[in-house]
Amino acid sequence: MKEEIVALITGCSTGIGKVLCKILLDKGYTVVATARNVEALKDLSASLKLSLDVTQRESIYAAINEVISQFHKIDILVNNAGYSIRGALEEIDVNGTKSMFDVNVFGIMNMNQAVVPEMRKKQSGKIINIGSISGKFVQPINGAYCASKYAVEALSDALRLELHDYNIQVTVIEPGPVKTNFFKTLVHNSSDLISNPDSCYSHFYESDARNRSKQELTDPTEAAKAISDIILKKQLNSRYKVAVPLTYSMITYFPDSLKEYFMKKR
C-alpha cells in the first residue's frame, strides 16, 4: 500500500491555494486545507479543513496538533497565505504595512517554527514558500510589498541551509501576475491612497491602474498545476519562476541601472 503524503497548505480560501488543494487531492495526497475563516473552505474538497491564522501562534499550534493527531506527520508545507497593499513609501500606512508583513513574512516564520520540528522527527520534508516575481525587482508604489517578498527569498535561502542536514528541502516559488482576488484585495486595501488625485504620486497611481487594466493574467489552475509539478520533484531547486511574463523574467537578469531605467520608462 502506498504511504500517504500529508500536505498542509495555508491561504486556501481563494486563488492558487484553493486550486492547489484540489490538484494535490486528485493526485492522491492527504491535503490539509487551512484559512483564517474555515467557512470559506466549505465548497473545497480536502482531507481536513482547519481554521488557521498564520499571525496567531495559538491558532497555528492548535491546527498543527490536530494534523499530527489525525495523520501523525506533515510531509509538505505550502506557505501560500499573503496579500498586498500599494502606496508610495512616503504616504503608505505603516500600521497597514506591518499587518502585511505579519502575514507575508512573520506568518511564514511562525508556520516554519511550528512544522519543522515535526519534519525533523521524520528526517524528511518539503517547505514551499510562495514568494513573488516582485521579490526579484522593485516597482514604484509597490515597495512595501516587494520588500515583504524580498524577505521571503532571504528566509527561504537561510532555511534551506539550516535544514540541509535534516533532509528537509526548501524552495521559493516566484509567481507572476495570476488571475485571483489578489488585485481586488490590493485595491480594497489601498483604495483611499491610490485614488487620491491630490497626491504628489498620483501619476504613479494612475499609471499603475492603467497597467493593471491591460495586464494579462495567468489562470490560477495553470499556476497551481505548475506548482504541483514542482512539489512532486524528488529534488527541489532553490527557486522557481511560475507564470512569469517574458519581459518580467528578463528584467530579473538586468543590472540595477537597466532595471531602474526600464521601470522609470514604464
Active-site residue set: 145
Q: Coil, strand, or helix at residue 83?
A: coil
Burial track 61-70 (b if 16+ CB lie within 10 A, e otherwise): eebbeebeee
How many alpha carbons lie under 13 Å from residue 76 in its C-beta half-sphere?
25
Using only C-alpha atoms, what is the Rg of the chain?
19
Kindly report the number of other CB atoms within 10 A of residue 72's CB atom. 12
What CA–CA distance (Å, rounded) separates 170 from 20?
18
Q: Could you tell me which residues are beta bridge partners of residue 33? A: 9, 49
Please, are residues 85 and 145 in contact by the beta-carbon 8 Å criterion? yes
Burial track 107-145 (b if 16+ CB lie within 10 A, e otherwise): bbebbbebbbebbeeeeebbbbbbbbbbbbbbbbbbbbb
What CA–CA distance (Å, rounded) separates 79 from 128?
6
Rounded (5°) CA angle 239-8-129 = 20
